[in-house]
Structure 1
């Protein structure tokens, strides 16, 4: 009992200090959030309460307005779970039994979509590339000569490497062939300017704990309204039925079908307000871009080589670096040293390379990048 009392006291003291973080998460999400985003989670909410459901409706409206200058074409659906749950919800709800999807795969998250589609017994064509290569548009055109393909999916920012796929160019080809266009913008929406109507995206998928800078617990899908109607009765899952989730929110003014992550939803609303206060997506993109450019320059000055070359589109979200050519280099030692200095970085995910990743998104500023570079320099010199 005494240990429990001591733990409670420690927690209360941490709140008294302003909910300070022990370290910055330099990852592509979960990411470091503001103290105000964390603070609003200290209130409990009832999922049936009109005030809470009105909050959900406001979030849905704000997301659509963030996404496009033509909001009347789209609606937003919130879905419990991580971003991958939302991806699987779209794949399992949007593609009819006789449908067929082309998935462009040049990283771990494209590969995950392929895995999901196969698990759901969806007829899938995989167009695969090495993790450091952007898709060839001519390959996509050739693949779409198969008239039985009904849907096409691609990851926008592939955080395996930090590569940014050319969704505008791909989308032109997809829509010229009159296919349904699905974009996993998990790590880019809210941090990279885009208009999903101009890009002719039918389904865009993202998550609360990415560039909008909320906390993990739900994802969201921005969908053309006619595509939502076409999903009725197609779902391969009860919990991940995209149409039923949307229809319930529409008919019951923000009510989720099943228990929603209420604290996470309230934190996300606060994060949306803070995005607006920062100056919107364009301002946030500029901050992320400055973070990434300074990080890249500083790391190269310290002897680290970037995985993506200068000809490959590098996102402002996360950057991947090769291990230095030193026999005694240890990523784990670097990781632990940086954690003690107040930073958490990511291990690499490229199949055949020894590498690690550093994210630039979240409540992270140029001063934080400078402090990180100083910490790495001190580690290198020790």
Structure 2
């Protein structure tokens, strides 16, 4: 798809566009795929499961049969916990890299699991860097695994996983990546970025609907993880072993979601795969950010760290700006945005992913302009204190 391509069809049935990091706006054919019921033990459904697993492994770049895909029922956080609980042994220790809510959630998951961990918390503005990871590993030989977030959607930072991976494996440790909101649009080719396992979800950049996540794991590492897991239902090794033996999920799968995901994968391939999907999202971001900045809004992040997944904006300092009112006005104009998830300053987020293109993003900017006028907001500029805080923390 090129920048001059025709606009995507508007959502059906009067739906607003979901400018969120997932669930997101899906194609009508993806929704339509859920209109048929499937028997979870039926051969046709087993073939669907095999197809999605094969396609996901192919998207990860594996051509030598070194990696497998293990689907897991539930939200993305279920799959993250399954990955951590399966691959970090009970006597292991993880270095968790955080620069937002999802890195901190990974640390909290480790605490619940009773696994030893240490944390590098970079706050909301900056990514963890390879040299910091290397120094932490050099200082603590007990660390066996590093946990990194690919795209931290609470701030919108795209983290430098390639340099993190280099630092990890130069010291003989292992990397686990939460690529929940990036896989399918941002390169995570196993031939270029080394990791033992990666987790993502159906309702993100592949543009399916919520209901399951999946882990792409090195086969040898998964085989060695037998007996590690803290949980019956979240044991990735057991899930994979049962899938290998029977072609079935161990417990009732979200059959309609799987059918929708298969159609979403077809559309992903038709568009041109990871490079084309990432290029569309990048164009969405660039058009939207340029327009919002033209209205006076300012992004939390400098351009270098802006992901093409979601962008965080400071709330305007104007006393007439009330986020709840802004949200309602944007929704009435056909766009559902996301509240901020920062601890220091007031903010909101606008997603760039889903079944939409730059033409839609121009309408988003126009809707924001109209909403500000209706609220009587004279300037969308952020508070000076927010800019000062960013400068201090990003220094």
For normalisation by structure 2, the TM-score amounts to 0.90
Query: Are positions 1:171 and 2:178 aligned together?
Result: no
Aligned-partner Cα distance in 2 for 1:229–1:322: 46
Q: Calculate the aligned-residue CA RMSD, in Å.
A: 1.3
**Is 1:322 the equivalent of 2:342?**
no
Aligned pairs (5 A) from 1:103-122 = 103-122=96-115
CA distance in structure 2 between the partners assigned to 1:370 and 1:116 by the alignment:
39
Q: Name the residue aligned to 2:392.
A: none
Q: 1:35 aligns with which of 17, 28, 39?
A: 28
Q: How does 1:148-297 map to 2 (within 5 A)?
A: 148-253=142-247, 255-297=248-290
- In 2, Cα distance between the equivalents of 1:71 and 1:64? 10
Q: Structure 1, residues 279-309: CA drift from partner, whole Å, max 9, x if none?
A: 1111111110000000100000001010002
Match of 2:77 among 53, 74, 84: 84
Contact 1:74 1:223 in 2 (8 A): yes
CA contact (8 A) 2:129 2:164 kept: no
Instruction: Give 1:2-17 correspondences, 5 Å limit.
Output: none
Aligned equivalent of 1:102, options 69, 78, 95: 95
Unaligned runs of 5+ in 2: 1-9, 375-395
Aligned to 1:370: 362
Q: Note the C-alpha offset of 1:19.
A: 4.5
1:348 matched to 2:348: no
Measure, in 2, the Cα distance between the counterparts of 1:210 and 1:97.
31
1:187-229 per-position Cα deviation (integer Å, ceiling 9, x unaligned): 0000112312320111000000000000000000000001110
- 1:161-187 Cα offsets, whole Å, 9 max, x none, are 110110000000101111121000000
Q: Is contact 1:20-1:35 (8 Å) kept?
A: no
Instruction: Return the offset for 1:149.
Output: 0.8
Asked whether the equivalents of residues 131 and 167 of structure 2 are also in contact (C-alpha less than 8 Å), the reply is: no
Partner Cα distance (1:18, 1:329) in 2: 29
SS of the equivalent of 2:348 reads strand
Task: Give the secondary structure class of the aligned counterpart of 1:72.
Answer: coil
Among 319, 322, 326, the residue aligned to 1:334: 326
Q: 2:63 aligns with which of 66, 70, 75?
A: 70
Number of residue equivalences:
364
Q: Taking structure 1 as reference, are residues 174 and 381 closer, same or farther at Cα in structure 2, changes over 3 Å only?
A: same
C-alpha displacement of 1:137: 2.7
Deviations 1:340-370 (A, max 9, x none): 1110000000111110000010001111111
Which residue is equivalent to 2:6?
none
The 1:258–1:69 alpha-carbon spacing in structure 2 relative to 1, beyond 3 Å, is: closer
Matching residue within 17, 25, 39 for 1:24: 17
Residues 298 and 122 of structure 1, relative CA distance in 2, 3 Å threshold: same
- CA displacement 1:243-273 (0-9 Å, x = unmatched): 00011111112x0000000000000000000
**Structure 1 residue 71: deviation in Å?**
4.5
Q: Report the CA distance between 1:373 and its aligned residue.
A: 1.0
Structure 1 runs (4+) greater than 4 angstroms displaced: none
Contact 1:308–1:320 (8 Å) recurs in 2 = yes
User: Which range moved further: 34-43 or 365-374?
Assistant: 365-374
Secondary structure of the residue that 2:120 maps to in structure 1?
strand
> Is the 1:81–1:218 Cα contact (8 Å) retained in structure 2?
yes
